A and B are shown apart, each in its own frame.
Chain A
Amino acid sequence: MTEKIKKLDKKTLQKSWWSWYVGNLSSMSFEWLEAFGFAVSMIPVIKKLYGGDKEEEIKALKRHSVFYNTEPQLGAIINGIMCGLEEERANGAELDDEVINGIKIGLMGPLAGIGDAMIPGMYIPLLLSIAIGLSDGGNPLGPIFYIVTYLVSMTSLSYFIFFKGYELGTKSVELIVGEAANRIRESFNFLGAIVVGGVAASYVNISSAWKISQTGKEVVINDILNGIFPKLLPLLLVILCWWLMAKKRMSALKVMGVLIIVAIVGVAVGFF
């Protein structure tokens, strides 16, 4: 039986990307996370490739509804790769469930790690820092800047990377984990660390109310500290929190607990 080659057209691929992009977490649970988000996004592809052959359709749906978890926005690249693989399979390539799932599961972990480090760990804080700067004094420019920049850049990136995944297959992952990507990531980290320094200087507020009376003259502790280095107390506080988390392996919640104690004791002894 000779069949004509099955090809996913652009419209089907766009439908699949969109379904993933908006619906990836819709039915998230501890047990399945993004499993059904993935399955639902494959519906247009499955219908196009196996439409009519109910048994193959169910097999494909089952194949794509196993436990799945990755960073969804950059993870769209895996969806693209899967669309490409399903297309090859529908055209007779020997790709059984194990091979397809192996690739899927093998990619989701690294992409979850890198994706989380890149997007909520770096890109969002960077944009937010700039937006916070623009919002100084309550200016709505900041939120508007964030909304427009983030939505436009992330939507186009996710779309672009989905199609790269479809076109290039597993090789496309180089785009995210490759040498060039690593260097870009490091430079963004560099920028992020500088900018967040500015955020800390502007928005960590801690000052001492302590005064020492010496021979009739009143010495304000806070002025002395700021004379050594401007905003010395906020700086020391950030370093302390960083040290507790990075060196003492404390969770952020525990550090907040420490700060509650510091605040209570500080107010009680009149330091704040």
Chain B
Amino acid sequence: MHITIIQAILIGLFAYLGSLSVPWFLGLTGGWYTLTRPLISGFVIGIILGDVTTGILVGIAVQVVYIALVTPGGQMPQDLNSAAYIGVTLGVIAVEGGATVESAVAIAVAVGAVGTIFHNFMMLTNSFWNHRAKAAIDKGDYKGLWFNHYVGPQVVQFFYRFVPTCLVVYFGATLATNIITYFPTTSFTMRTLTALGGMLPAVGVAILLTQVTKKDIDLIQFLVGFTLVAALQLNMISLAILGAFFAYMNFKYTASKPALAANKSDVEEEL
């Protein structure tokens, strides 16, 4: 599939808008936590490339790998932005060329691993603007502070995100389209990528499990959800409703404890 310059530029622009630190689209909330979620980027890329269905299918598959990615203090084990824009775009093109959605996941995750370099560069070069902002504060120069907080860092960030995304997507498209001729579906490489891409979502799910379970026995909640879908073929909305019911029951029946404790302390205070 051929990709036009305009399409590459649009994808580059969204990649910039969605990258961490960019304020223009509701800041962190609209950028990093919305535009850079692969489900959303898949949708956006699908619209730009004129194939929303494939965009979303690839987006979902990549999304599950990163479903519970937490980046405390700006530490980034995987650069979600390059996975979501460079990776998903190449993945969508590869899938249209005949590759499996699973192999697209493996490609996106590989891109995400390399992409951390852009993030770390930004975190380093921003120190330059920070020192200038500090100097502006010492002089009480509001304009200088504003410039060195918004304009300077964002111009640099634009180059870190827009240029690589644009170039890789534009020049990588041919390679991605033909990936199936270099590595046919039955080749060792393609079979490995497909197997790997099918397994990677397990990592995302497992990360989430380590975050939401306090005791090992809490895994039973996960098992219930898994069983309802795997064995009883429930769809996700029905599962969410059932889950909400259990969560509500949990909330309702743990209510008595803190209420008692509160009453007790009230009594003590009165005494």
Binding site for B on A (CB under 8 A): 21-33, 35-37, 39-40, 43, 54, 57-58, 61-62, 65, 69, 72-73, 112, 116-117, 119-122, 124-125, 128-140, 142-144, 146-147, 150-151, 154-155, 158, 179-180, 183-184, 186-206, 229-231, 234-235, 237-242, 244-246, 251-253, 255-256, 259-260, 262-264, 266-268, 272
Closest to A202 in B: B229
Asked whether A22 lies within 8 Å of B206 as measured between CB atoms, the reply is no
- Asked whether B52 is an interface residue with its Cβ less than 8 Å from the other chain, the reply is yes
Asked whether B64 lies within 8 Å of A266 as measured between CB atoms, the reply is no
Asked whether B123 lies within 8 Å of A120 as measured between CB atoms, the reply is no
Q: Output the least CB separation between B139 and chain A (Å).
A: 8
Interface residue count on the B side (C-beta < 8 Å): 118
Q: Can you name 12 A-B residue pairings with CB atoms under 8 Å?
A: A31-B130, A37-B149, A129-B240, A142-B60, A143-B39, A158-B29, A197-B224, A202-B236, A204-B201, A245-B207, A259-B200, A263-B192
User: Per a CB cutoff under 8 Å, which of A24, A188, A234 touches B27?
Assistant: A24
- Asked whether B199 is an interface residue with its Cβ less than 8 Å from the other chain, the reply is yes
- Asked whether B181 is an interface residue with its Cβ less than 8 Å from the other chain, the reply is no
Kindly list chain A residues whose C-beta atoms are within 8 Å of the C-beta of B207.
245, 252
State A57–B137 Cα separation when bound (angstroms): 9
| Most chain A CB within a 10 A radius of its CB, from B23, B154, B224 | B23
The binding surface of chain A is classed by DSSP as helix
- Asked whether B61 is an interface residue with its Cβ less than 8 Å from the other chain, the reply is yes
Q: Output the least CB separation between B261 and chain A (Å).
A: 8
User: Per a CB cutoff under 8 Å, which of B42, B72, B146 touches A116?
Assistant: B72
Closest to A113 in B: B72
**Chain A interface: which of B5-13, B73-81, B83-91, B160-168?**
B73-81
**Besides the contacts A125-B67, A195-B239, what 19 more A-B pairs have beta carbons closer than 8 Å?**
A22-B27, A26-B150, A36-B149, A39-B145, A72-B27, A119-B33, A125-B208, A131-B39, A135-B39, A138-B53, A138-B56, A143-B42, A150-B29, A151-B29, A187-B250, A191-B240, A206-B198, A245-B210, A267-B188
Closest to A178 in B: B258
From known contacts A146-B39, A263-B192, A267-B192, infer whether A193 and B130 are also in contact, taking CB-CB under 8 Å: no
Kindly list chain B residues whose C-beta atoms are within 8 Å of the C-beta of A73.
28-29
From known contacts A129-B67, A187-B251, infer whether A29 and B154 are also in contact, taking CB-CB under 8 Å: no
User: Per a CB cutoff under 8 Å, which of A37, A128, A191, A229 touches B39?
Assistant: A128
Asked whether B205 lies within 8 Å of A193 as measured between CB atoms, the reply is no
Asked whether B208 lies within 8 Å of A196 as measured between CB atoms, the reply is yes
| Most chain A CB within a 10 A radius of its CB, from B191, B195, B246, B258 | B195
Asked whether B20 lies within 8 Å of A25 as measured between CB atoms, the reply is yes
From known contacts A194-B243, A241-B205, infer whether A129 and B210 are also in contact, taking CB-CB under 8 Å: no
Kindly list chain A residues whose C-beta atoms are within 8 Å of the C-beta of B188.
267-268
State A231–B229 Cα separation when bound (angstroms): 10
Closest to A54 in B: B140
User: Per a CB cutoff under 8 Å, which of A197, A201, A264 touches B221?
Assistant: A197
